[in-house]
Structures are given as C-alpha cells and as structure tokens.
Structure 1
C-alpha cells in the first residue's frame, strides 16, 4: 500500500482526467490497490484499440503526475491464487492491449503477468524500467550522514553553516495555510530551470483535491519552503503516509550561491526531520533523475526498480507495435 493507491490520489486523478468520453472505469480503487479503466482510441487514427490501464496512468493520451507502486491486489493474495485472480481480471474484459505502468520489479504480480502471458500465448513486452531511491530513517541521522561520501555529506548537510551565515534560515509548511503560494513558487523555479510550469491549471486542481483528501486517510501534506532572510529559495512537495515521506516534487532558486546546492540542503533538512519523527521509517525519493546528475542515488540507502509492461493478444497488433518499436 502506497500513497498512490489511496482513495485521495486515485479519486482526485479520476475526477480530473478520467472524464474523457473514451474512458470507462471498470474497477474502482479501494484505498490499497489501483483502479482499472478502459481507454478507447484509434491507432494511427485508423485501427480501433481498447486499452486496459491503471487509474493514475495514461500510456499514450495524457501527461499527468506520475502514479507509482501500482498493484492489482493486496498482500493477502499470492502464488496460484494470485495468478487465478489476475487471470479473471484479464479475461473478464475485452481488450486489444493492456499497459500496466510502474509495477515494482521483483513483485509477485509482475511474475504472474509473465506466467499468464506465456500460458495464453499473449505477447509480453517491457515498455520501460526506471530506478527509484529511498533512505531508511529508522536509525540515527548522524550514522546516516557518516555513511555518505564526503561530497554528498557536504551538499546535504555540512554547507548549512554557509547558508546560515548568509542570513536567517527558516523552514515552514505551507499546508494548509498557503498552498497557492507554494505551487506558484514551484512553478516559478521550474520555469527558470526547465522553461515550463511544473503544475498547470488542471494538475493544480488535482493536487488540491488530493491534498485535501489525504488527511482523511491520515496522510500529512508537507509543502515545505526553505527561506533565507525571509525569501523563499527552495520548495519540497512531500507527503507523509503510513510511515513513509514521499518526495513528489522539488524546486529551488538557480544561482543563489556558487557553493550551495539549495535543493540538496533542503532535502537534508527534510531527511533529518524524517529521522526525528518516530512514526517515519522511510524517505522515498521516488523514480526519476535530476537534470544534471542522479542526485537521488548519492543520498539513498536503498534502491528499487519500476517496470512498465504491455500485453497484446492480436497477431496483427503485435506485428504493428513491434515494427513501430
């Protein structure tokens, strides 16, 4: 069970992006597992496709916040029972393709999909694989820092003294007080770094719904801003849920100081807080890499991998998809 399978995330996503005329919800979420929906479109504008996907994902049609840790069932199903249950889903609906994104590598569900595809002679293809990173926060922050390389420790923690010498440093959570300012600032930083907004109007609608609802499931929004002399210089979009702090997004002021990595320093404060909080056992950076380097791997104590797969029944579509690459 992760943040992305909560009723808050799934319902907010479906209300924001699921109301397309070509989408049809076929299995609702329950707060622990992902919902499923059917998407209809035409391949190359010609051939009709029925695609089965997780709620929160869209293989071809939409760009939305990434929904990770997708799963079909809870931990109560395993082995042969799991395979039977997944077969019932896959045989219970007509489809041309199924595209299941961001399944945890090594999971029983991923293995079950391989077995089912082989049994039914369906084509099985890995569409993508992405590494994710996390910090186990059940020990001491001091020991964690000692485990890092010299340069990583410098960027994450030791250069706090330099930052503090430049003026008063203040950390604040803008939820629920001023989330609008938080997302405006996040967009401002992203426009400078990536030449585009991080959160558009529609995705802002999604995030506000999600954040307001996650508290009903005992989640805690952490819209952290780092201020220097009263000016916001870095933001972290984190949410604590079931003992894990999920780092969803980040942004910081470019060229603040040539010896400071504001984003890394801000992460250092957040990770330290996760170590101090008795109910937190993990700080999850999630999948993806930075613009210039894979900073997550430098700070992580553990890594994992997400696999996105496609299953195809028709011989015709197998040939078309595989020719396309």
Structure 2
C-alpha cells in the first residue's frame, strides 16, 4: 500500500468531498486499501447514472488531488480467487458504471477486472494510461549519480556551488513551524508558472488535515523550503511513509538564475537525503510530467504505469459511452 491508502489521506479526502450531492460511502477504508463510494449523477445532465469508484478519485464530477496505487484488497489470498472476491464485491452494489482509477498495470486486480468483464459481458475500456517514476535508494547516492546522464547530473547536483555563490543557502522543514507559509509560497510559484494557484481553499484544508493525521500513522511530512539569503526560492511537498518518500508537489522561482534549474536542484537535495536515511527504500516521483519536459523519467531508476478502467453493464449505455466518450 501507499500513503494514498492511509487512513489519513482517505479520511481527509472523504471529509473534504464526500458530502458532495449524490455521494454515498459503500465500503470504508481500512488503512491498507482504498474505500469505495457510490456517486449518483446525470450523464450529459439527463440520464441517471450510479457510479462505483475508489475514495480519493472522481470520474467526471470533481477535480481533487490525485489518489494513486488504488487497490481492492490487501492480498488475493484467503483461500478464494481474487476474481471471485472482486466479483462478490461488485455484485453487492448496484451500479451503471464502475470506474477504478490508477490501478497498477500488470496487477492481479486489473487482470481480474478484465476477466470479470468478459465473463459477464460488461463493457470495459481503459480511460487513461499514465507513467509513474521512482528512485530506488537502496544503493549509494554516488552510484545513483554515476548512472545519470551528464546534463541530468548537472541540473540535479553539480550546480550546487553556483547556487551557494548566490548567497546563504538554507533548508527548512516548515511543517512544524509554519505550514500555511509553505503553501502560500507553493501557490505563488504555481500562479506565476501555471496561471493558477496549486491548492484552493478545500484542497488546502484537505492537505493540512492529511498531514496532521499522517503523523499518527508513522508518516513524516517534509514541507521543504529552500532559501537563499532568507528568501524562499523553491518548495517541495514530500511525505515519508513506510519506507518511501512521496514527492507530492513542488514549486520554484522561475527567474532566479538562468543557469540554475531550481526545482531540479532542490529535488536533488531531497533525493540525497532519502539515500542517506536507512529506513528509506524509495523516492517516488509519482505519475505526471513537467511543464516542458518529462524530467521524472531522467531522474528515475524505475518506471511503472497506472491504468484507469471503466466497466459498463448494459449494452445501451456501452453504445452511448463508446460513441460520446
């Protein structure tokens, strides 16, 4: 499981968005796997739909922080086939569509869903495929750097001296001292780079609640602020959980120095810290890519894929969905 299946993430998400009209929790989270909920809405504003989804995800209706590594069960054992367990779960609830986002490609659960769809003559399609990237931190940091291309190594590590020549460089974890200030900087950097803040009121409240709760499950928030002469120039939103550092968000000053990639340089410090922590086995860059380049691919040692799957029961709805998208 990942930090996204923690009670902290799941409970904070449901408290933020679970009161949306038409939402009903049908299976609670347990700290290991995602909960499930039913969403009732009208397709194109007309046809009534009952949609079964993972807590932390929303098809068509909401834009919320992404919940990755979703799964139905802790394992496929207990003397019963995984397909049978998922079939029993799906048959317990009435649904028009079932949309299961960000399942790992190649997982037994994904294979079981495809098998069930064929057996019951349900429509099935892949809504999206996204690459994710991580860094194995079991070996030494120097070995990791040696495996990078020269330009990547330059951006991630070798220009630290140039940064330090600009002034007094300081790293601060703002989680305990001033988390609100951290998110102010993150929003400001995103506003300038993307034309909109990173987190609005509901999303911000969600993240603060999640971070407060994840500590109770052994997680460690790292709201890292990189400062030069007292001015914050880059921020990283990371969380350590069960041996993995999850890189959830980042923001930086775009015009600080034309020869410095501040975001990459700040990430390099965080990656080195992960290598230096015996309890850390991976630094997960998660799914997604940068604005101008797929930097995660160049920084990573491992790649994985998330697939989002839709199941549709009735033939008329299958025809409608496949035609309209």
Q: Establish whether TM, by shorter chain, passes 0.5.
A: yes
Please give the secondary structure, in 2, of the residue aligned with 1:292.
coil
SS in 2 for 1:102: strand
- Any residues of structure 2 matched to 1:276-315 within 5 Å, and which? 276-315=276-315
In structure 1, distance between residues paired with 2:280 and 2:78: 28
Equivalent residue for 2:148?
148
Aligned to 1:32: 32
Alignment of 1:7 onto 2:7: yes
Structure 1 residue 81: Cα displacement:
1.7
1:122 matches 2:113: no
Separation of aligned partners in 1, 2:254 and 2:65: 24
Counterpart residue number, 2:208: 208
State the alpha-carbon separation in 1 of the partners of residues 209 and 81 from structure 2. Answer: 36
**1:14–1:56 Cα contact (<8 Å) kept:** yes
1:77: Cα distance to partner?
A: 2.7
Distance in 2, matches of 1:78 and 1:314, equals 32
Cα separation, 2, equivalents of 1:301 and 1:79: 36
1:79 to partner: Cα distance: 9.1
Distance 1:78 1:293 in 2: 44
Does residue 138 in structure 1 map to residue 138 in structure 2? Answer: yes
Give 1:45 deviation, angstroms: 1.1
CA deviation digits over 1:189-237, x for unaligned, max 9? 0000000010100101100110000000000000001011111000000
How many pairs align? 325
Q: Which residue of structure 2 aligns with residue 108 of structure 1?
A: 108
* Aligned mates of 2:125, 2:80 — CA distance in 1: 22
Measure, in 1, the Cα distance between the counterparts of 2:148 and 2:282: 17
TM-superposed deviation, 1:21: 2.6
Partner of 2:65: 65
Structure 2 residue runs of 5 or longer lacking an equivalent are none
- Structure 1 portions without partners, runs of 5+: none
- Measured in 2, the distance between the counterparts of 1:104 and 1:78 equals 21
Residue by residue over 1:265-305, the C-alpha shift from the partner in whole angstroms, topping out at 9 and shown as x without a partner, is 00000000000011000000000000000000000000000
1:3-62: CA deviations, max 9, x gaps? 000000000000000012300000000000000000000111111000000000000110
Is the contact made by 1:78 and 1:108 (CA closer than 8 Å) also made in structure 2?
Answer: no
CA distance in 1, matches of 2:69, 2:104: 6
Q: Which TM-score applies when normalising by structure 1?
A: 0.99
Please give the TM-score of this superposition, normalised by the length of structure 2. Answer: 0.99
2:222 corresponds to: 222
Matched, 1:268 2:241: no
Is the counterpart of residue 197 in structure 1 residue 197 in structure 2? yes
Does residue 178 of the first structure (1) align with residue 178 of the second (2)?
Answer: yes
